[in-house]
Amino acid sequence: MEDFLLLDEQLLEEERLMRDSIREFVEEAIIPKMPEACEKAKFPMELIPKLADMGLFGLTLPTEYGGAGANYVTYGLACQELERGDSSIRSFVSVQSSLCMYPIFSYGSEEQKKQFLPKMAKGELIGCFGLTEADAGSDPNSMKTTAKKVDGGWILNGSKLWITNGTIADLAIVWAKTDQGIRGFIVEKNFKGFSRNEIKMKMSFRISNTGELVFSDCFVPDTHYLPGSGKGLSAALGCLTQARYGIAWGAIGAAMACYESALLYCKERHQFNRAIASFQLVQKDLVNMCLEIVKAQCLNLQLGRLKDKGLGTFAMVSLAKMNACKEALNIARLARNLLGANGISLEYPIIRHMTNLESVFTYEGTDNIHHLIVGKHITGFEAFS
| 1 within a domain of the structure (yes/no) | no
pLDDT of residue 158: 97
- Taking the whole predicted model, whether its pTM rises above 0.75 is answered as yes
Q: In this model, does residue 35 exceed pLDDT 80?
A: yes
Average pLDDT over residues 275-282: 98
Q: Tell me the pLDDT band of 256, cut-offs 50, 70 and 90.
A: very high
**What stretch of H or E contains 207?**
none
Identified catalytic residue from 15, 83, 364, 382: 364
**CATH code where residue 327 lies:** 1.20.140.10
My answer on whether 116 and 184 are in the same domain is no
My answer on whether 131 and 117 are in the same domain is no
Average pLDDT over residues 8-33: 97
| 384 within a domain of the structure (yes/no) | no
**CATH code where residue 32 lies:** 1.10.540.10
My answer on whether 238 and 223 are in the same domain is no
| 44 within a domain of the structure (yes/no) | yes
Q: In this model, does residue 93 exceed pLDDT 80?
A: yes
pLDDT of residue 384: 84
The rounded percent of the chain whose pLDDT value lies above 90 is 97
| 335 within a domain of the structure (yes/no) | yes
| 2 within a domain of the structure (yes/no) | no
My answer on whether 20 and 44 are in the same domain is yes
Last residue of a domain, one of 231, 262, 294: 231
* Tens digit of each residue's pLDDT (9 = 90 or more) over 123-137: 999 999 999 999 988
Q: Which CB contacts under 8 angstroms, 24+ apart, belong to 51-57? A: 51/89, 51/92, 51/93, 51/123, 52/121, 52/122, 52/123, 54/21, 54/22, 54/25, 56/22, 56/82, 56/93, 56/97, 57/93, 57/96, 57/97, 57/101, 57/120, 57/121, 57/122, 57/123
My answer on whether 212 and 335 are in the same domain is no
* Cβ count near 2 (within 10 Å): 9
Strands 127-130 and 171-178: parallel
Provide the number of structural domains found in the chain: 3
* Tens digit of each residue's pLDDT (9 = 90 or more) over 168-202: 999 999 999 999 999 999 999 999 999 999 999 99
φ and ψ of 307, to 5 deg: -65, -40
| 32 within a domain of the structure (yes/no) | yes
* Tens digit of each residue's pLDDT (9 = 90 or more) over 281-307: 999 999 999 999 999 999 999 999 999
Last residue of a domain, one of 66, 93, 121: 121
* Residue 364 annotated to the active site: yes
For 352, the domain range is 234-379
pLDDT of residue 362: 94
Q: In this model, does residue 385 exceed pLDDT 80?
A: no
Contact 203, 166 (CB under 8 A): no
pLDDT of residue 143: 96
| 254 within a domain of the structure (yes/no) | yes
d(CA 333, CA 343): 9
Question: Distance from first CA to last CA of the chain, Å, rounded?
Answer: 42
**CATH code where residue 202 lies:** 2.40.110.10
My answer on whether 112 and 134 are in the same domain is no
My answer on whether 81 and 198 are in the same domain is no
* Tens digit of each residue's pLDDT (9 = 90 or more) over 107-165: 999 999 999 999 999 999 999 999 999 998 888 989 999 999 999 999 999 999 999 99
Average pLDDT over residues 58-83: 97
My answer on whether 244 and 219 are in the same domain is no
Last residue of a domain, one of 204, 231, 258: 231
My answer on whether 173 and 112 are in the same domain is no
| 365 within a domain of the structure (yes/no) | yes
Q: Of 162, 220, 169, 167, whose CA–CA distance to 191 is shortest?
A: 220
My answer on whether 248 and 318 are in the same domain is yes
My answer on whether 27 and 113 are in the same domain is yes
Contact 335, 350 (CB under 8 A): yes
My answer on whether 193 and 76 are in the same domain is no
